[in-house]
Structure 1
Amino acid sequence: MQTELEGMKELIVEQKKENENRQKSLAKKETELTNKAKELKIKDRDLASLETQVKNNIASARTPIVATLSTSKSNQSAKANNNESASPSANPTARANGNAAIAAGYRVLGTPYVWSGKSPGGFDCSGFVSWAYGQAGYSIPSSTSGLAGIGTKVSSSNMQAGDLVFFNTYKTNGHVAIYLGGGQFLGAQSSKGVSVVSMNNPYWKSRFTGHVRRLN
């Protein structure tokens, strides 16, 4: 009986140790689950913020922008000499089409970058711009060299949402995107695909020389 009691004591001790180990394991798993829950909450909050931002940008892009005419003779003379618009576009239809192109672009945010891509399956920069304006009823070139000469040249100080902005990357005017206003542009970037980027980003700021075109 003494031997049996000692065996039972050893069994109880082993079971106690096993229970303690299980409790430690459960506590560790509980901590891991708590941390994961916190991470998911943060991700959900970030996604909600991004969704709100995208919705606001789309609403802004779809809001008609009131165009005004400049009656200044000096401005008209400068425009004739430099082939630049010294004031906002006076064509409401062109402005509405620019907004429609932006709205189309937002619908394909995140589309991967594909060299020579011209469809929602994959875009390069000029292919994206050509496609977006195609959704707005414009038939424009799908190369940066072709896009660099369309419409009207605009001073960078008068940029408006819907204007085409060019950057000197691997060549002069090697990258093109659609200006959104507020110092941001929408385009197909080789690293991020179709995305919204700040003009103040050091990389793009150093490559923007002020070449802007406005579709009439």
Structure 2
Amino acid sequence: DPSVQLFLSADPDDYLDKASTLDQLSGQQVEALKKIQDKQRELAQERAEATEKLKDLASTRTELGNKKQEVQGKLAEAQKLLNTLTAKEKAALAAEQQRANRSSTDRVDLGNDSSASGRAAAAFSAAQSRIGSPYVYGATGPSSFDCSGLTSWAYAQAGVSIPRTSQAQAGYGAHLSQSQLQVGDLVFFYGDLHHVGLYAGNGQVLHAPHTGAVVRYESINNMPFQFGVRV
């Protein structure tokens, strides 16, 4: 027992000095142990966050895989339809596509609509700088894009990270009607929300339309508008 050792010690002062040193060492060990425990908790939290991110990545990969299969199926159907066209009809279709692409470089009246926010203005300006860039499925810029690749890239230039796919972007914020749209808002089309662009003002959309087209302006009425989302 420490009290017995002190009573029997030939040099009580020396014993007390040693006891004090041992107590200090014990205190240091406790402090070191607390730091180790804190670090373990921190590592456990980081591990949990990394696990969640891996789950998100796996989910996104699966979603993109399913989307790719869907698009490939639609492209196959479109190719079958194209194969049924006569040479004259194909030439007319190609001429129409060229006309639409050329119009993207022409002056478009965007009116005087204001931007939804500073970041929306920055995103829209970034997208404008890519007018004429070709549509490539799965591309996210900076030289080619698909529809959601353009919108996610544009907002990234404004310092805002939004989801990669059009369906995920559609759930990013509250839905807006066409009359509520402001420049830079995301605009979604078709029942399955497979297409997205940026509202450009005055009833115009800036988007990457489809294979064979380029990033360009187009009337919002040319596609079945569903709703807008403000980032």
Given the two structures, how large is their TM-score scaled by the length of structure 1?
A: 0.53
* Equivalent in the alignment of 2:204: 184
Q: Does 1:154 align with 2:170?
A: no
5+ residue gaps in structure 1? Answer: 1-46, 67-93
Query: Which stretches of structure 1, 4 residues or longer, exceed 2 Å deviation after superposition?
Result: none
Query: Of Structure 1 and Structure 2, which has the larger fraction of its residues in helix?
Result: 2
Are 2:215 and 1:194 aligned?
yes
Write the distance in 1 (CA, Å) between the matches of 2:162 and 2:181.
20
Quote the residue 2:117 is aligned against: 95
Partner of 2:45: none
1:134 aligns with 2:156: yes
Q: Are 2:130 and 2:143, in contact at CA under 8 Å, matched by a contact in 1?
A: no
How many residues were matched structurally? Answer: 127
Corresponding residue for residue 208 of structure 1: 225
* Paired letter, 2:149: G
In 1, the alpha carbon distance for the partners of 2:217 and 2:112 equals 14
Q: What corresponds to 1:125 in structure 2?
A: 147
Within 5 Å, which residues of 2 pair with 1:1-216? 50=105, 53=107, 65=114, 95-168=117-190, 172-190=192-210, 191-201=212-222, 204=223, 207-209=224-226, 211-215=227-231
SS of match in other structure, 1:131: helix
SS at match of 2:221: coil
Distance in structure 2 (CA, Å) of the matches to 1:100 and 1:174: 24
More strand by share: 1
| Residue-by-residue CA offset, 1:144-163 (whole Å, 9 max, x unaligned) | 11101002221222111111
Distance in 1 between the 2:112 and 2:176 partners?
22
Contact residue 112 and residue 202 of structure 2 kept, 8 A: no
Cα distance in 2 between the residues matched to 1:140 and 1:112: 22
Identity %: 40
- Structure 2 spans left out of the alignment, 5+ residues: 1-101
- C-alpha deviation, 1:181, in angstroms: 1.2
Secondary structure in structure 2 of the residue aligned to 1:186: strand
CA distance in 1, matches of 2:112, 2:158: 16
Deviations 1:120-179 (A, max 9, x none): 2210000100000111110011101110100222122211111111111xx610100000
Q: TM-score by structure 2 length?
A: 0.50
Alpha-carbon distance in structure 2 between the residues aligned to 1:140 and 1:159: 18
Aligned Cα RMSD in Å?
A: 2.4
* Structure 1: distance between partners of 2:179 and 2:131: 27
